[in-house]
A = this chain, B = another copy of it.
Amino acid sequence: MANIGFIGLGIMGKPMAEHLIRGGHTLFLLTRSGVSEDLVALGGIVCTTPQEVAQQAEIIITMLPDTPDVEKVLFGNNSIAAGLTDSSEVRKVIIDMSTISPLATQQFAIKINELGHDYVDAPVSGGDIGAQNAALTIMVGADEAVFSKVKSILELMGKQVTLIGGNGAGQVCKIANQIIVALTIEAVGEALLFVSKAGVDPEKVRQALMGGFAASRVLEVHGERMINRRFDPGFRIELQQKDLDIVLASASALGISLPNAATTHELYNACVAHGGAKWDNSAIVKMLEKLANHEIYKRTE
């Protein structure tokens, strides 16, 4: 059993840390808003700085909102890097499970390697439900040897844990996921809106299409939400918007033109302008509805 640090105990991080404790590990915990009683009751140990976490644990997991947050925890004041320097005789592993820039990730990994430690990027998909059920999909960027060392720990939190490639590859895979999910939601929105404004029952169409090439998890799950007008998350608009920020900034840096990701990002901006930051990401259809001056509704009862 290992000493594991866990920084960032939000809606995702808290259940993930809990699975690790229940898996028999000793957890060193830190989060901005204070560690919850539950985790302490289970045996979690509260720390006061990233530096302290990095001194105590041999594996340090971060689960934070965005790139600058990870950078600060890794290299800011009283940082993980400071803690690693204090304990330079042991080769420790940093696992960043946040969704952040793949280009920044590669730079972070190089710096951590230069300090004599290992880096793993391991962003997840599956949302808070996946985190609670230890059913996350985890996309890993790491050296194979390092991956072998931490695989069993990741498997306490996720069902599908895949090594995609070296450092950054986990984040690249997550970007691909976010492009496809956002654009497929937008596509399903265009299609169901067309159907409804043409006077046809969108639910019958959705069911008919599930048998052919239009079939997707998004048509199944998000399509149903659009038709039944249930826009409570799920995955929030503001997070989808932030992830598309990362997508487009990375595409700009790599010299790639992503026309539909760009257009779709603008529609998420519009959602936020209408107070939709906390809506489910399927609510992008509301912006298409505004333009068409028509709201999707079911014909069948």
A residues near B (Cβ < 8 Å) are 102, 125-126, 137, 139, 160, 162, 164-165, 168-169, 172-173, 175-177, 179-181, 183-184, 186-188, 190-195, 197-201, 204-205, 207-209, 211-219, 221, 241, 245, 247-252, 254-267, 269-270, 272-274, 287-288, 290-294, 299
Contacts and interface: CB of A to CB of B under 8 A. Distances in A.
Given A162-B207, A194-B250, A200-B164, A257 B288 contact: yes
Contacts of A262: 262-263, 265-266
B290 A291 contact: yes
Q: How many of these chains are in the complex?
A: 4
A138 to B, nearest CB: 9
Contact of A164 (B205, B241, B251): B205
A227 to B, nearest CB: 12
Main DSSP-derived SS at the A contact region = helix
A173 B274 CA distance: 25
Contacts of A265: 248, 252, 262
Contact of A269 (B164, B168, B257, B270): B257
A45 B42 CA distance: 66
Contacts of A126: 212
B241 A257 contact: no
Contact of A251 (B160, B169, B194): B194
A291 B257 contact: yes
B218 A292 contact: no
A126 B292 CA distance: 30
Given A137-B208, A212-B177, A190 B261 contact: yes
Contact of A211 (B160, B172, B181): B160
29 contacts: A137-B212, A160-B208, A162-B208, A164-B200, A164-B208, A165-B299, A172-B200, A173-B195, A173-B205, A177-B212, A177-B214, A179-B190, A180-B187, A180-B188, A183-B186, A190-B258, A190-B260, A198-B250, A213-B221, A216-B217, A245-B249, A248-B248, A258-B266, A258-B288, A260-B264, A262-B263, A262-B266, A273-B293, A274-B293
